[in-house]
Structures are given as structure tokens and as C-alpha cells.
Amino acid sequence: MLYVIEDMINGILMGSIYGLTAMGLTIIFGVLKVINFAHGSLLMVGMYAAYWAITLTGVHPYLALAIVIPVMFAFGYALQNIVIKPIFIAEKNVREPITVIIVTTGIWYILDNLTLLVFGPQYRSLTANPLQGQMFELGSMFVSAPKFYGFIIALVTAAAIHLFMQKTIMGRAIRATSMDREAASLMGINQYRIYNVAFGIGAATTGIAAVALIPFNNVFPTVGVLFDIKGFIIVVLGGLGSISGALLGGIIVGLIESVGPQFMTATWTEAIVYGLFLIVLFVKPSGLFGQKHDW
């Protein structure tokens, strides 16, 4: 029984990090109304940014947030402004421009292959990692310290995004644009600037997830693919555009992956995750925690 409880705790911790990786995806969807297929590649870029920031400066892994967050925000802002914004302008009368999905797919392949060309296929990990192998002992149970810290980072990030969206002028402008971009434009809100900021926030949130992952996960050019599919599943489970839904959806997936192998093979565990995904799509397409409005 202790093994099951230990697996549940570790599943919740890892699931919260899964949810954190999906938050950036759900922010971008909530505002732009398009699925960002380059989300995994943004996570990969964030992990490389965190890896090099820590390796070159020697700072504590979590202090790299001070470097990664602004870098990823600027990267996301520029990517939206230079590459995706022209598509929105060209298809301004379309609520969910399909062309943007095609463009983000192209960005995915470009980023992954450009990274492979520059850094090679090698798996990289932190050489001087103060968190490596750290465990918290709870009686006879052991809990991964990096995953616990990742859980705290996920909760703080979700709370910060919620407060930003609810209490700040920019957050209210983002919410207004996500609900009705035409009405928001009539109120003097520059919807394209809001799109840039929202994409930047989504990329910065992905950077935070990258820093949470870097103490115990290798970095390589296709690392984003491992979390990309999970991100889409989590967003659908939790509800498109829902921050709390992304966190809770991630915890559900984490629990299934952690506890499931105690009773069945890993293959069946994956089948349960995808089965739950399909059931939610059929029964409640808005997601388990989907709401009438995105925020």
C-alpha cells in the first residue's frame, strides 16, 4: 500500500509539471483561438536556454528563471509578430485561421532541425547539478526533490497567471480579446499587440516549465515531442483555455502514468490515457473543467 501512496505522490508532482508544460499551450489557444503545433519546440528552446544559462553562468538551476523567462517572452513575442501576425491580418475575418496551424507546424520542423544542425543529436544534462538525486524521506517513502520544487513552481505560476489575467489592465485586455476580438478592437484595444503579448506569455510559461524539467530531464533536439502530445491531451482534458484545467489535467495524466504500472503494463497505462482523452472528446468536448468563457 505504501508503494501505491508513494507512486500517487510522485504522480501528482510529475503531473503538475506536465500541467505546467501545457499552460503555455492553453494560454495561446485561449487568446489566438489556434492550436500551436510548435509548442513542443518552444519547450525544447526553453530547455536549451536553461541548460546554457546554467552551464555558462554556473547559477543554481532555478535562478536561471531570471534569464529564461525574458528570453522566451521576447522569442515568443517576435515569433508571433514576425511570422504569425501577417496570417492573422490576411485572414482577419476568420475566427480560427487554419493557415496558422500550418505555419506553426512549419515552425516546429524548422526549430527542431535547426537545433539539430547547431547542437547535434547529443543528449545533454547538467554536469554540476545540486539537485541530482535529492530525495525527501517521508517515513518509508521517498519523494523526488526536483519534482516537488517543480510542483511548487507550477502552483505559483498558475496563481501568478490567474492574478495577472484578473487584476492587471493588460490581463483584462487579453481576456476581452479572447472573448470577442472585434468588440475589444472597438474599445481601443490593439488585438495584434495583444496576440503578441499572449504568445510571449505562453512562450515564457513554457520556459518556466523548461527550468522545472532541466534538473532531472535530458536536453536534445526532439525533447519537445515527448511533451507535445501530452500537452494536447492535457489541454483537452482540462478544457481549452483553462489554466486551472491544464494543471488538473496534467495531474490526472501523471497519476495514471505513475500508479497504473503497479497494476498493469506500461502499454495499458498509455492506452488508458488515450482512452480517457477520446472519452472526454466524445462526452464533453469543452474538457472536464471547461467554462463558457476562456478565463
Summarize pLDDT for 194-240 with one digit per residue, the tens: 999 999 999 999 999 999 999 999 999 999 988 888 888 898 888 87
Q: Are 209 and 16 in contact (CB under 8 A)?
A: no
Name the residue among 151, 196, 163, 157 with its Cα closest to residue 177: 196
**Structural domains of the chain, ranges and CATH numbers in brackets:** 2-120+147-283 (1.10.3470)
pLDDT of residue 95: 62
pLDDT per residue as tens digits for the range 18-68: 999 999 999 988 888 778 889 999 999 999 999 999 999 989 999 999 999
pTM of this prediction?
Answer: 0.92
Residue 294 has pLDDT above 60, yes or no: no
**What is the Rg, in whole angstroms, of the alpha carbon atoms belonging to the chain?**
19
Of 73, 100, 102, 105, the C-alpha closest to 84 is: 100
The residues pairing with 135 across neighbouring beta strands, listed in sequence order, are: 144
Residue 101 · residue 34 · CB < 8 Å: yes
Choose between 9 and 186: higher pLDDT: 9
Q: Quickly state the pLDDT bin for 292 (edges 50, 70, 90).
A: low
Contact 244, 165 (CB under 8 A): no
Which H helix or E strand runs over 218? none
Share the mean pLDDT of the chain.
Answer: 88
From the list 257, 233, 227, 259, the residue with the least C-alpha distance to 246 is 233
Question: Does 257 have pLDDT greater than 70?
Answer: yes
Alpha carbons 243 and 290: distance in angstroms, whole number: 10
The pLDDT of residue 8 is above 60? yes
Q: Quote the cell numbers at residue 212.
A: 522545472
Q: What is the DSSP string of 169-193?
A: HHHHHHHHHHH-HHHHHHTT--HHH
